[in-house]
């Protein structure tokens, strides 16, 4: 497998092969070289406030339990029994001191330690279980501003290094909650019939909304919800950003989804804690992609869980702000559901399109997709951050350069 079979990056063109959505060998490499070695977002601290709180999710295809143990420490445990591999915990979330495998009854403490083997006495030769002491676990777990990440690579750089320059935007995102940190509600979960990278590309794609979501905007406008105006404003004053670690941002105008009275109350709450310039920065709407699997959006967190090369699960968690008038959260929640909920006006357009891209990418004739938009008008802000116009494909290029670096040994100096 050669990087030039999948990527053209020559200064004028940036092309990606549609096979990145369909190739089984690439997918296998992604599970290994992206999802095991990168830092991957798994949960938010507000979901695990008490000792014993846990939830289940996936890191790539690795099933995991994220649990706060009795000492308060957060663990990312492989949710596969050390006996014969059954998923140990089948619940989505809960609180427990221990997990008991439903197959033959082996039991594990909420920190992963093996504490019981059913009918053990006399069944095993001395020392037969000497290397079986508990659930396997991620190599490292770290949090930043309430966001919990893990990696299975003991050599991985620190989470702070992985975040790089995007960290200052993560701070702005977290500061949306006047009282830190915001609180996540249980997610909407849904699937689409396409590769996981489509959602990664799409959340920071400022080129498509005016076209793909045109009818949704018209309908929303008809019912008095300003949406086309926000989209047009994004095209006028917005920006996109791409980062050398594969992160990306789509930035719109100021948050204007709240009615004026609630917006004023929200601004007051922010001004009690931040100076005016920072308040204005916090109020800009952003979709922040942290490579490889999470979007921090103005109303929610959206995680991407690959299921197979052509099937992806998405979980969307409303983020409740703390330290604000409850009416603000009510309005934000109904806005989120109206736009991006599973029966919202906008979200389903994207999911249906991902399936269409998956179908198109099975073409034997189409050799390349064109992602060159805006090459030549990007501004280099230093520290590996490029900024461009909101319809430029700077975010997609950042994502694919990091992706190619991990799965195809793409040179980091970009001289293909
Ligand atoms: S597979 Fe878990 S106890 Fe047998
Ligand atoms: Fe969209």
pLDDT tens per residue, range 217-246: 888 888 877 777 777 777 788 999 999 999
Q: Is residue 100 in contact with ligand 1, taking CB distance under 6 Å? A: no
Q: Is residue 103 in contact with ligand 1, taking CB distance under 6 Å? A: yes
C-alpha 117 – ligand 1 centre gap (Å): 9
- Residue 415's pLDDT is 43
Q: What mean pLDDT value characterizes the chain?
A: 94
- pLDDT band of residue 310 (cuts 50, 70, 90) is very high
The ligand minimizing its distance to the Cα of 302 is: 2
**What average pLDDT does the segment 81-92 reach?**
98
C-alpha 118 – ligand 2 centre gap (Å): 51
Q: Is residue 180 in contact with ligand 1, taking CB distance under 6 Å? A: no
- Report the CATH number of the 156-408 domain: 3.90.380.10
State the residue for tokens 């998923």: 87
- Residue 416's pLDDT is 41
Most ligand 1 atoms within 8 A of CB, residue of 78, 87, 104 to mutate:
104
C-alpha 130 – ligand 2 centre gap (Å): 52
Query: What is the C-alpha separation between 376 and 369, in angstroms, rounded?
Result: 18
C-alpha 19 – ligand 2 centre gap (Å): 22
CATH architecture of 47-141: 3-layer Sandwich (2.102)
- Residue 232's pLDDT is 79
The ligand minimizing its distance to the Cα of 120 is: 1
DSSP reduced 3-state for 238: coil
The ligand minimizing its distance to the Cα of 83 is: 1
Q: Within 10 Å of residue 221's Cβ, how many Cβ atoms? A: 13
What is the strand order of the sheet 147-151 is part of? 40-44, 147-151, 140-144
Q: Is residue 86 in contact with ligand 1, taking CB distance under 6 Å? A: yes
Q: Is residue 106 in contact with ligand 1, taking CB distance under 6 Å? A: yes
Q: Is residue 26 in contact with ligand 1, taking CB distance under 6 Å? A: no
- Residue 284's pLDDT is 92
Please state the atom number of ligand 1 nearest to the C-alpha of residue 104.
Answer: 3
- pLDDT band of residue 154 (cuts 50, 70, 90) is very high
- % of the chain with per-residue pLDDT over 90: 86
State the residue for tokens 């997709």: 369
Note whether 47-141 and 156-408 share their fold. Answer: no
Interval 249-295: pLDDT, tens:
999 877 667 889 999 999 999 999 999 999 999 999 999 999 999 99
- Residue 413's pLDDT is 60
C-alpha 87 – ligand 1 centre gap (Å): 8
- pLDDT band of residue 414 (cuts 50, 70, 90) is low
Q: Is the pLDDT score of 127 beyond 60? A: yes
Domain regions of the chain by residue span: 47-141, 156-408
- Residue 263's pLDDT is 92
- Residue 412's pLDDT is 65
Q: What is the 3-state secondary structure (H, E, C) of 157-176?
A: CCHHHHHHHHHHHHHHHHCC
- Residue 220's pLDDT is 83
**What average pLDDT does the segment 361-390 reach?**
96
- Residue 256's pLDDT is 63
Six token digits for residue 37: 């070695």
Interval 29-38: pLDDT, tens:
999 999 999 9
- Residue 197's pLDDT is 98
- Residue 222's pLDDT is 86
C-alpha 106 – ligand 1 centre gap (Å): 6
**What average pLDDT does the segment 202-210 reach?**
95
Most ligand 1 atoms within 8 A of CB, residue of 79, 89, 103 to mutate:
103
Interval 315-349: pLDDT, tens:
999 999 999 999 999 999 998 998 888 888 899 99
**What separation in angstroms does the CA of 155 have from each of 36, 39, 133, 244, 402?**
11, 11, 23, 19, 18
């Amino acid at each position: 497998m050669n990087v030039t079979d999948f990527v053209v990056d020559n200064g004028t063109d940036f092309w990606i092969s549609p096979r990145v959505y369909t190739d089984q060998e690439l997918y296998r490499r992604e599970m290994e070289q992206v999802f095991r070695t990168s830092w991957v977002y798994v949960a938010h601290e507000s979901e695990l406030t008490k000792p014993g709180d846990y939830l289940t999710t996936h890191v790539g295809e690795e099933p995991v339990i994220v649990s706060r143990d009795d000492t308060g420490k957060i663990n990312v445990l492989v949710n596969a029994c050390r006996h014969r591999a059954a998923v140990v915990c089948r619940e989505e979330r809960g609180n427990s001191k221990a997990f008991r495998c439903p197959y033959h009854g082996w039991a594990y403490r909420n920190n992963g330690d093996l504490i019981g083997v059913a009918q053990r006495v006399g069944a095993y030769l001395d020392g037969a279980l000497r290397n079986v002491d508990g659930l396997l676990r991620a190599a490292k777990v770290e949090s930043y501003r309430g966001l919990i990440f893990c990696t299975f690579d003991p050599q991985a750089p620190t989470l702070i290094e992985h975040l790089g320059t995007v960290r200052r935007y993560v701070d702005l995102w977290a500061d949306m909650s006047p009282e830190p940190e915001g609180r996540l509600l249980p997610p909407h979960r849904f699937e689409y019939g396409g590769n996981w990278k489509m959602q990664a590309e799409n959340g920071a794609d400022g080129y498509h909304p005016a076209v793909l979501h045109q009818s949704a905007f018209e309908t929303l406008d008809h019912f008095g919800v300003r949406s086309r105006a926000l989209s047009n404003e994004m095209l006028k004053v917005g920006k996109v950003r791409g980062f050398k670690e594969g992160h990306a941002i789509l930035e719109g105008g100021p948050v204007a989804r709240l009615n004026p009275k609630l917006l004023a109350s929200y601004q007051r709450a922010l001004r009690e804690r931040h100076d005016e310039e920072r308040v204005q920065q916090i109020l800009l709407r952003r979709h922040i992609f942290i490579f490889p699997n999470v979007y921090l959006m103005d109303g929610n967190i959206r995680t991407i869980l690959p299921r197979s090369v052509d099937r992806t699960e998405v979980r969307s968690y409303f983020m409740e702000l703390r330290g604000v008038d409850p009416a603000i959260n009510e309005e934000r929640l109904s806005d989120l559901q109206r736009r991006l909920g599973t029966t919202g006006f906008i979200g389903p357009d994207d999911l249906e399109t991902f399936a269409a891209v998956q179908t198109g990418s099975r073409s034997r004739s189409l050799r390349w997709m064109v992602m060159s938009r805006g090459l030549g008008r990007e501004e280099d802000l230093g520290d590996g951050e490029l900024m461009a116009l909101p319809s430029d494909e700077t975010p997609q290029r950042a994502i694919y350069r990091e992706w190619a670096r991990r799965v195809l040994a793409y040179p980091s100096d970009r001289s293909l």
